[in-house]
Chains A and B, each alone.
Chain A
Amino acid sequence: KQEVTQIPAALSVPEGENLVLNCSFTDSAIYNLQWFRQDPGKGLTSLLLIQSSQREQTSGRLNASLDKSSGRSTLYIAASQPGDSATYLCAPQGPAFRYNFNKFYFGSGTKLNVKP
């Protein structure tokens, strides 16, 4: 079974800092990996999806990298803002056989607080 670990569990920083959130997973035979954001008591919003053949994806101030062979992904947030405060979740997809392409495994998340 895929195990996903996210470090740190919580992070509090002043506005403007650059941040790195870490994700590790035990089974490297994944289809893709996604990063999600969750605001308190709400559903998840997809931020970035990295295909297994890719090494990184960028969207605005967000950059996600993937090292599939070592089972690691990082989410880099540039110039953090108070509106970035949320829980960030990493979710590898797969592994790749039968219907497992439809399965996502989630970490416990990193709870981010960006102070004004």
Chain B
Amino acid sequence: ETGVTQTPRHLVMGMTNKKSLKCEQHLGHNAMYWYKQSAKKPLELMFVYNFKEQTENNSVPSRFSPECPNSSHLFLHLHTLQPEDSALYLCASRSGTSGSTDTQYFGPGTRLTVL
């Protein structure tokens, strides 16, 4: 158990559906991340939040909409996705302090399949 949980663990959705991924961390961290991991591609950073402020949007299509209501929770709202969006979506957290040497802690991921 890493202290970062993600729900659901598996999700199958059609292209017209709307769904949300949830991430929760119990580590007292202030930085939270969404990553996308597609088959045979490097882990892609999608969004970074630091103290609830979005500090990074890595040119992610608007069909992915993040939300960070507090430092412990991070959501990824999904709508009108494409089959190529099928991937493992990973959430991570970190202390968020400048110059900190602590690691990122990852959740187990949500395996998303878009039909």
Pick the contact of A101 from B43, B98, B111 — CB < 8 Å? B98
A44 and B41 CA atoms in complex are apart in Å by 15
In the complex, per-residue mask of A97-116: 1 if CB is within 8 Å of any chain B CB, else 0: 01101111111110000000
Q: How would you classify the secondary structure of chain A's contact residues: helix, strand, loop or mixed?
A: mixed
- Interchain CB contact under 8 A, A49 and B101: yes
- Interchain CB contact under 8 A, A108 and B41: yes
Known interface pairs A34-B104, A41-B88; A101-B99 also in contact (CB < 8 Å): yes
Pick the contact of B94 from A41, A42, A45, A102 — CB < 8 Å? A102
Give 27 CB contacts A-B under 8 Å.
Answer: A4-B42, A34-B103, A36-B106, A43-B4, A43-B90, A43-B107, A43-B108, A44-B106, A45-B2, A45-B106, A46-B103, A46-B105, A49-B102, A49-B103, A51-B101, A99-B50, A101-B99, A102-B50, A102-B55, A102-B56, A103-B48, A104-B33, A104-B45, A106-B42, A106-B43, A107-B42, A109-B42
Interface size counted on chain B using CB atoms at 8 A: 31
| B86-115, CB < 8 A from A | 88, 90, 92, 94, 96, 98-109, 111
- Interchain CB contact under 8 A, B96 and A102: yes
A64 within 8 A of B: no
Interface size counted on chain A using CB atoms at 8 A: 25
Residues in B neighbouring A32, C-beta threshold 8 A: 101
- Interchain CB contact under 8 A, A102 and B31: yes
- Interchain CB contact under 8 A, B104 and A46: yes
A51 and B4 CA atoms in complex are apart in Å by 24
A99 and B19 CA atoms in complex are apart in Å by 29
Residues in B neighbouring A49, C-beta threshold 8 A: 101-103
A88 within 8 A of B: no
Residues in B neighbouring A41, C-beta threshold 8 A: 88, 109, 111
A89 and B106 CA atoms in complex are apart in Å by 13
A4 and B92 CA atoms in complex are apart in Å by 20
Residues in A neighbouring B31, C-beta threshold 8 A: 102
A25 within 8 A of B: no
